[in-house]
């Protein structure tokens, strides 16, 4: 079983739609969790950190369910500029981040 | 503010040739530094990390090595490249001590093609 698993997509949604991605992780001792955004042929950029049950930043909401070992990312009112690959990332311990392979989002006009 | 630089941006090298990729961080001192590789269609793989000058931890045995000759400089090297070394090489940093959650911040990357 992979340490971090994501649906690769792509998720094709129209502008203005709400879309949600899920991610599961296998290490129950994981301490913190992140969503990164990666545009094509670019470096990953930190989108959100998830330390407790979840947090919200504008149109983006991240939630953590430790009992079921999954993290979700909800994007409301999707914009064309939200098209990217979203990486689920888990901190499994000292200096160790484990990256999922990403979920691709395509927002169309 | 902190800035991370990587060069070159793109590199095409023949099999068996040496490699040297450089990463530097500005605007901070004593950062943790990381090298990752992202192969086509795959997730990021941690290769090396460093918590200080001369301190290197290797995550995956392979024909690559890393060095940290200065506080804010991290170098990835190989004596002889393999075809399988092709990929997108990313350097990342985070501050020591205060950041217990380990968010990491990435440089622009070097895209390496080995022919």
Between chains, do B101 and A43 touch, taking CB under 8 Å as contact? Answer: no
- Structure confidence at residue B98 (pLDDT): 57
- Structure confidence at residue B101 (pLDDT): 67
Task: Reply yes or no on whether the pLDDT at A24 is more than 80.
Answer: yes
Closest of B23, B35, B34 to residue B70, by C-alpha: B23
Closest of B50, B48, B95 to residue B68, by C-alpha: B50
Closest of B112, B82, B98, B84 to residue B8, by C-alpha: B112
Q: If you search the block for the tokens 């990752």, which residue do you land on?
A: B36
Q: Give CA–CA dist A18/A106, Å, rounded.
A: 12
Query: Who among A43, A49, A91 is closest to B106 (CB)?
Result: A43
Q: CA–CA distance from A30 to each of A50, A106, A107, B26 (Å)?
A: 12, 30, 32, 30
Does residue A69 contact residue A25 with C-beta atoms inside 8 Å?
Answer: yes
Task: Reply yes or no on whether the pLDDT at A2 is more than 90.
Answer: no
Question: Which of A67-71, A77-81, A88-92, B59-63 has the highest mean predicted lDDT (pLDDT)?
Answer: A77-81
Task: Reply yes or no on whether the pLDDT at A7 is more than 60.
Answer: yes
Query: Who among B44, B102, B105 is closest to A91 (CB)?
Result: B102
Residues of chain A neighbouring B102 (CB-CB closer than 8 A): 32, 91, 95-97
Task: Reply yes or no on whether the pLDDT at B106 is more than 90.
Answer: yes
Report residue A70 as tokens.
């999954």
Closest of B82, B70, B69, B65 to residue B17, by C-alpha: B82
Report residue B4 as tokens.
């991370």
Residues of chain A neighbouring B41 (CB-CB closer than 8 A): 101
- Structure confidence at residue B100 (pLDDT): 59
- Average pLDDT, integer, range B38-66: 89
Task: Reply yes or no on whether the pLDDT at A25 is more than 80.
Answer: yes
Q: How many residues in chain A?
A: 109
Mean pLDDT of chain A: 93
- Residue that wins the pLDDT comparison between A71 and B41: A71
Show Cβ contacts of residue A67 under 8 Å, excluding neighbours closer than 6 positions.
none
Q: If you search the block for the tokens 């200096």, which residue do you land on?
A: A95
Task: Reply yes or no on whether the pLDDT at B114 is more than 90.
Answer: yes
CB-based contact, A101 to chain B, within 8 Å: yes
Task: Reply yes or no on whether the pLDDT at A11 is more than 90.
Answer: yes
Q: Give CA–CA dist A89/A97, Å, rounded.
A: 6
Query: What percentage of chain B exceeds 90 in pLDDT?
Result: 78
| Model confidence pLDDT, tens digit, residues B94-103 | 987 655 568 8
- Average pLDDT, integer, range B35-51: 90
Other Cβ atoms within 10 Å of A54 Cβ, number? 17
Query: Who among A4, A32, A43 is closest to B107 (CB)?
Result: A43
Question: Would you list which residues of chain B are within 8 Å, Cβ to Cβ, of chain A?
Answer: 32, 34, 41-44, 46, 49, 51, 57, 88, 90, 101-109, 111
Q: Are strands B64-70 and B73-78 parallel, antiparallel or unpaired?
A: antiparallel
Distance from CA of A58 to the nearest CA of B (A): 20
Distance from CA of A16 to the nearest CA of B (A): 28
């Amino acid at each position: 079983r992979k340490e971090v698993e994501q649906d690769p997509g792509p998720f094709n949604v129209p502008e203005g739609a709400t879309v949600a991605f899920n991610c599961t992780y296998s290490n129950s001792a994981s301490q913190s969790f992140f969503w990164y955004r990666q545009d094509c042929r670019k470096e990953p950029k930190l989108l959100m950190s998830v330390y407790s049950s979840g947090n919200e930043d504008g149109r983006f909401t991240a939630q953590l369910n430790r009992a079921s070992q999954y993290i979700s990312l909800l994007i409301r009112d999707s914009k064309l500029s939200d098209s990217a690959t979203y990486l689920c990332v888990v901190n499994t311990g000292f200096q160790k981040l484990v990256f999922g392979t990403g979920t691709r989002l395509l927002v169309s006009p | 503010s902190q800035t991370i630089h990587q060069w070159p941006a793109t590199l095409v090298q023949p099999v068996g040739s040496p490699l040297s990729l450089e990463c530097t961080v500005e605007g901070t001192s004593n950062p943790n530094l990381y090298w990752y590789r992202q192969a086509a269609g795959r997730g990021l793989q941690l290769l090396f990390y460093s918590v200080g000058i001369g301190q290197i931890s290797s995550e995956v045995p392979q024909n690559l090595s890393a060095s940290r000759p200065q506080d804010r400089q991290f170098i990835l090297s190989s004596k002889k490249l393999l075809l399988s070394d092709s990929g997108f090489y990313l350097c990342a940093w985070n501050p020591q001590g205060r950041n217990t959650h380990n968010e990491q911040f990435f440089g622009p990357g070097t895209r390496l093609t080995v022919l």
